[in-house]
Amino acid sequence: MLFYTTNRWNVYVYFHKKMTNPSLMQLKIRNLSKTYANGVQALDDVSLDINKGMFGLLGPNGAGKSTLMRTIATLQEPDSGSIQLGDIDVLQQKHELRKTLGYLPQEFGVYPRVNPVELLTHMAILKGISNKSERQELIEALLNRTNLWDHRKKAISSFSGGMKQRFGIAQALLGNPQLIIVDEPTAGLDPGERNRFYNLLSEIGENVVVILSTHIVEDVKELCERMAIINQGKLLFTGAPTDAIHDLTGKIWEKRVEKSQMEDYYNNYRVISATLMAGKPMIHIYSETNPGEGFQAVEADLEDVFFSYVL
């Protein structure tokens, strides 16, 4: 249902204020596997339960995140496994899933010479929103919500990267979706655009299932109450980010070292990250006991969690 005031900067789009089918608010993925023709196993027996709210899917480039997202979005077939969204068998009822899906892929194409109103109108018609006045009100509300109303007459080709991403969210919200997938949405955005995108996603995630696929740890830390880590097609962790951080308490140690010593430390310790500070590497290692050698215990963060699983 759509609500908005006469002040265009005070527009609120509420999805599922009154749920018609609450059972749709859980996504169940079971034993999903996919191997490409070149032999790369992109998914290896992945099982997940994802409830309403923001869910982060974290992994390095090539981990299998996009394959999983495309499979959920019915854009490709797995070799085996099942996906269920409430009463919808996603792999068998693709058309039903697409009715309730909002999807923002990592790269999405647009007609460059059209403006956002024209393109959203076209996409809304494809989504089955046939009533003209309802469609116009929805598009106006979405462009206000994504802070694009003042740019509604400009060609989308003239938009900045952040504006294009916000337009991508606007099109993903057409048709009152109950499942929204966003794949690497903040890559390449400046800090200001990233913060605006965070705020928008967090508001959307209050009422629907939102899956955020990213390799940027900060995105998950800022937005998601639950997360999964995937690497080389395997699910390595699922749970709350705070629980994952808590599990590393007392196991992360840091030390500033010389660049010439780095190879020795990699050979003798489980180095999970190295960053330069004033030109010298600061390394974090994982160790369940005090490693000595001048290492100091530090409070773990989500980046330490990520690297402890994928390295």
> Which positions ≥6 away from 30 have C-beta within 8 Å?
47, 81, 82, 83, 84
Continuous H helices in 44-115? 65-72, 94-99
E runs forming strands in the chain: 2-4, 11-13, 26-35, 41-51, 53-58, 80-85, 88-89, 101-104, 179-183, 209-214, 226-231, 234-239, 252-256, 271-277, 280-286, 296-297
Give the 3-state secondary structure of residue 140. Answer: helix
What's the number of CA atoms in the CB half-sphere (13 Å) around residue 100? 28
Domain range list for the chain: 2-239, 245-310
Give just the sign of the alpha carbon dihedral 150, 155, 159, 164. Answer: positive
> CA 198 to CA 200: how far, in whole Å?
5
Percentage helix, strand, coil for the chain under 3-state DSSP, each rounded to 5: 35, 30, 35
Give residue for tokens 């106006």: 140
pLDDT, position 118: 95
If residue 118 lies in a helix (H) or strand (E), which one and from where to where? Answer: helix 116-126
Give residue for tokens 């395997």: 234
pLDDT, position 189: 77
pLDDT, position 198: 82
Longest dimension (CA), the chain: 71
Say whether domain 2-239 belongs to CATH 3.40.50.300: yes
> CA 28 to CA 237: how far, in whole Å?
16
28 phi/psi in degrees, rounded to 5: -115, 120
80 phi/psi in degrees, rounded to 5: -160, 165
pLDDT of the chain, 311 residues: tens digit per residue: 333 333 333 334 434 443 444 445 799 999 999 999 999 999 999 999 999 999 999 999 889 999 999 999 999 999 999 999 999 999 999 999 998 999 988 777 777 789 999 999 999 998 888 899 999 999 999 999 888 999 999 999 899 888 888 898 899 989 889 999 998 887 777 888 788 888 888 888 888 999 999 888 988 988 899 999 999 999 999 999 999 999 999 999 999 999 999 999 999 999 999 999 888 999 999 999 999 999 999 999 999 999 999 98
**Burial (CB count <10 Å: 0-12, 13-18, 19+), residue 118:** middle
**Burial (CB count <10 Å: 0-12, 13-18, 19+), residue 57:** buried
> CA 32 to CA 54: how far, in whole Å?
21
CB atoms within 10 A of CB 262: 14
